[in-house]
Structure 1
Amino acid sequence: MTVKKLLRGTSVAACLVAGAMTAFAGAAQAQEKLKVGVVAFYTGAAAGPFGIPARNAAELIVEAINAGNVPAPYNTKGAGGMEIEAVYIDEAGGTTKQVTEYRNMVQRQGVDAVIGYISSGSCLAVAPVAEELKTFTILFDCGTPRIFEDSDYQYVFRTSSHATMDSVGAARYIASKFGDTKTFQGINQNYAWGQDSWRDFDLAMGNLMPDAKAEEPLWPKIFQGQYGAEISRLSVSPPQVLHTSFWGGDLESFILQSSARSLHKRTTMLLTTGESVMHRLGRKLPDGVVIGARGPYGVLAEETELSKWLWTSFSDRFGTPPTFPSYHMAQAFIALKIAYDNAAASSGGAKPSADAVADGLRHKTFEAFGTTINMKLGKGHQAITPTAYGITKWDSEAGEQKIVDVITYPAECVNPPADVNSVEWIEGGMQGAKC
């Protein structure tokens, strides 16, 4: 009897210890943080109009996710129950530096995931490294279609549409609003983003407006900053439509330098990333300029509870409205939360693996800030979204730049179908487009 009682007492004690250990492990998991590298241009010409608005959005959305303050359905705390800890890395310095920085983030700083990259060159350079290191990575802004059309990835995703959407949407807008266009020309940065943007716009115009003639495009260097020679050349024989995918400081410089010489009065300027500078330039952005926002963002966003929350929260905190780089960053963090929430549901309380997190985002469709994200291309790794274009018009009474004559194009109107190369899709007459 004494032995039995002793054994029963020992068993009870063992159970109590095991229960205490389980509770302790659960508490430890609840306190564990999710370390996320956040990469964008925080210095240099691209910082003001792109990198800083993106970082501001990251700081805002990280705090809101951790506190459970994002509107439903994202109002649970953390990502996979973990508090997000952001590590900010400057994208300035070139692609070689970014590859080194990426390795340092993962191998030395111990980040669990990475959200980043504005430059298409950066994305092309780091994507293979992310795959090598098996690190869940979201490309939040860069546009070149080559990422997922040239390669397959297990751990790399992009939650914004690629450049084909911008160019096809731009061509559709010109065909709709400027149907008498006889000549068009491009001035684009001479690297992946600029080359892809002009190629797709030129091809789309050839399909939609076959009688319009494409003049010889101009290819200044990225971050060149001074465009006197190019503006002189354009002023001598201006096209009816001038296409540019300039961004950051290059775009601001080109607008200010060309406006000083009244180029906008002799050609219809088409700025595919123009929304990113409209609040910074204000009245200095001329009337009558066609602008896009790399999707339906900012003043072009659909009015939803999520979009109203981002606009109000961002404006109140930073004293200026969010532009599309802010939206791109914020929706990337929502995707991160979705991926980790889905993975955590089957992880048994442990921090989920990169494979489980990738499974949690692949092929998903979700609501973001003013639009719907559909991870449809690149075997479920590349998003498609709608896009929108409009024309600038200064509102003297309100003292702010407005966008008029807005047309929003459905995602499947301006993006290629799954498993179809974007160039081949445009060259083939954009078959299957649902407009």
Structure 2
Amino acid sequence: MAAAAIGLMALTGAASAQEKTAKVGIVTFLSGGAAGPFGVPARNAAELMIEAINAGSVPGVYNTAGVGGAMIEPIFVDENSKQKNADFLKLVEKDGVDMVIGYISSGSCKAIAPEAEKAQKLTILFDCGTPQIFEEILTDPQYTFRTGAHATMDNVAAALYLDQQGVNLDSIAGINQNYAFGQDSWRDFSESVKQIDSGTSIATEQFPKIGAGQYGSEISALLTSKPDVVHSSFWGGDMEAFIIQGSARGIFERSKVVLTTGETALHRLGAQMPDGTVIGARGPHGELAPDSELNSWFRQAYFDRFGTLPTYPSYKMAQALLGVKAAADKAGSADQDAIIGALKGLEWEGPSGKVSMALANGHQAIQDTAYGTYKFDKDTGKPVLVDVVRFNAECVNPPAGVASLAWIESGFEGAKCD
């Protein structure tokens, strides 16, 4: 079943046989350790947004039904598959989708991006973070887009946040998953810190395999090396396991810990998250999203439907779908070539604010971001983020045509910060 489509659902029930449809493959983790914290919230957001888009009930400029006059028909597919490329080709060749929106893991995106170009099928990567996609793997993309910023933003902003908060950066350590996202995240964070404080030393670098779940030896290495800061881009179940195991052994008391994807655990772990942890959301999502009519509507609609607040995977899925709608409506068509032409270089508003397709010749998004510090409010019994700092997109993303590492090593040349 992991290789097969989970289901085909027409969510409005209002579309007649005569109405034009846009068949969309939605790929996210529906099973395995990443499903609960990441995949299911993304799937939930897709269901909610597709229903609202088809009904024309999204507020503001999105209050017309469908995308370019077509009703969205989703086919949900489990990303937790050993044959991701075959699943993708099934969507394209057998199911006849008009586009694919999906992929959380950077490993998935590295495999699918070249396949999308080969198949000449519009494919929108809604989450995966590695900057390798358009800096190394696809340097001239035609059919592949990513509607969320890549992870260089997360790690540059994390370094700047720590510096602004007066955190000692003499010694840093990392515990990151041993694949593209983890390796790139640690590279960008450690190099950014070195630009801020040339005297910084690296205490230890830990790279357990993705999905390991047990981190006893890595935590021992962190405790022994006594860093001022511990950086982790762990996500999903791995991150939650590290929080529980690391807090039990005092890591969060002895070092300032920064979790670049930590926002997904705020409500899932609650008081189990140690106070003082620095939290990111891979953009201004979730608890870090700006106030707006669209954000208020999204949070309330999501809570009313699913009984919990949306976290950043939900926001990023909503962002991708609204990007498709904005492009299709601008073009006046849901045809692939029309959407590609309109999405390239497009700017639109999502629940997290403005998204600009500014990199990779208009195929890669940039956006503002934010970090905050975790505190559990015992009076309300709810987690809060304090000392929130927001960063302009142009402050923490490389300029067009400049590779991420080269930009960091230049001392962030061309960055535009408030």
Residues 1:105 and 2:91 are matched in the alignment: yes
Residues 1:391 and 2:377 are matched in the alignment: no
Offset of residue 235 of structure 1: 1.6
Q: Which residue of 2 aligns with 1:23?
A: none
Residue 160 of structure 1 contacts residue 328 of structure 1 at CA under 8 Å; is this kept in 2? yes
CA distance in 2, matches of 1:29, 1:170: 50
Q: Which residue of 2 aligns with 1:148?
A: 134
Matches within 5 A, 1:342-357: 342-343=330-331, 345=332, 352=335, 354-357=336-339
Offset of residue 179 of structure 1: 4.2
Offset of residue 80 of structure 1: 1.1
Residues 1:219 and 2:207 are matched in the alignment: yes
Residues 1:251 and 2:242 are matched in the alignment: no
Residues 1:282 and 2:282 are matched in the alignment: no
CA distance in 2, matches of 1:61, 1:237: 47
Matches within 5 A, 1:19-418: 31-94=19-82, 97-150=83-136, 151=138, 152-343=140-331, 345=332, 352=335, 354-418=336-400
Which piece of structure 1 moves more, 243-252 or 311-320?
A: 311-320
Offset of residue 131 of structure 1: 1.0
CA distance in 2, matches of 1:157, 1:384: 12
Residue 155 of structure 1 contacts residue 355 of structure 1 at CA under 8 Å; is this kept in 2? no
CA distance in 1, matches of 2:339, 2:153: 27
CA distance in 1, matches of 2:36, 2:226: 30
Q: Tell me: CA distance 1:263–1:28, structure 2 relative to 1, closer, same or farther (3 Å).
A: closer
Q: Which residue of 2 aligns with 1:420?
A: 402
RMSD: 1.3
Offset of residue 370 of structure 1: 2.4
Q: Which residue of 2 aligns with 1:15?
A: none
TM (norm. structure 2) is 0.94
Q: Tell me: CA distance 1:30–1:427, structure 2 relative to 1, closer, same or farther (3 Å).
A: farther
Residue 204 of structure 2 contacts residue 222 of structure 2 at CA under 8 Å; is this kept in 1? no
CA distance in 2, matches of 1:30, 1:120: 39
Report the 3-state secondary structure (helix = DSSP H, G, I; strand = E; otherwise coil) of the residue aligned with 1:360. helix
Give the AA of the match of 1:49.
P
Report the 3-state secondary structure (helix = DSSP H, G, I; strand = E; otherwise coil) of the residue aligned with 1:73. helix
CA distance in 2, matches of 1:309, 1:128: 36
Residue 118 of structure 1 contacts residue 142 of structure 1 at CA under 8 Å; is this kept in 2? yes
CA distance in 2, matches of 1:251, 1:290: 13
Give the AA of the match of 2:113.
A
CA distance in 1, matches of 2:167, 2:386: 18
Which piece of structure 1 moves more, 53-62 or 143-152?
A: 143-152
Report the 3-state secondary structure (helix = DSSP H, G, I; strand = E; otherwise coil) of the residue aligned with 2:27. strand
Residue 35 of structure 1 contacts residue 86 of structure 1 at CA under 8 Å; is this kept in 2? yes
Aligned residue pairs total 401
Q: Tell me: CA distance 1:378–1:29, structure 2 relative to 1, closer, same or farther (3 Å).
A: farther
Rg larger in structure: 1
CA distance in 2, matches of 1:85, 1:31: 11
Structure 1 or 2: more helix by fraction: 1
Q: Tell me: CA distance 1:65–1:208, structure 2 relative to 1, closer, same or farther (3 Å).
A: same
CA distance in 1, matches of 2:362, 2:34: 30
CA distance in 1, matches of 2:345, 2:378: 45
Offset of residue 356 of structure 1: 2.1
Which piece of structure 1 moves more, 143-152 or 184-193?
A: 143-152
For structure 2, the residue ranges without an aligned partner over 5 or more in a row are: 1-14
Give the AA of the match of 1:356.
A
CA distance in 2, matches of 1:237, 1:336: 47
Q: Which residue of 2 aligns with 1:19?
A: none
Offset of residue 355 of structure 1: 2.2
Report the 3-state secondary structure (helix = DSSP H, G, I; strand = E; otherwise coil) of the residue aligned with 1:250. helix
Residue 30 of structure 1 contacts residue 81 of structure 1 at CA under 8 Å; is this kept in 2? no
CA distance in 2, matches of 1:393, 1:325: 22
Report the 3-state secondary structure (helix = DSSP H, G, I; strand = E; otherwise coil) of the residue aligned with 1:44. coil
Give the AA of the match of 2:127.
D
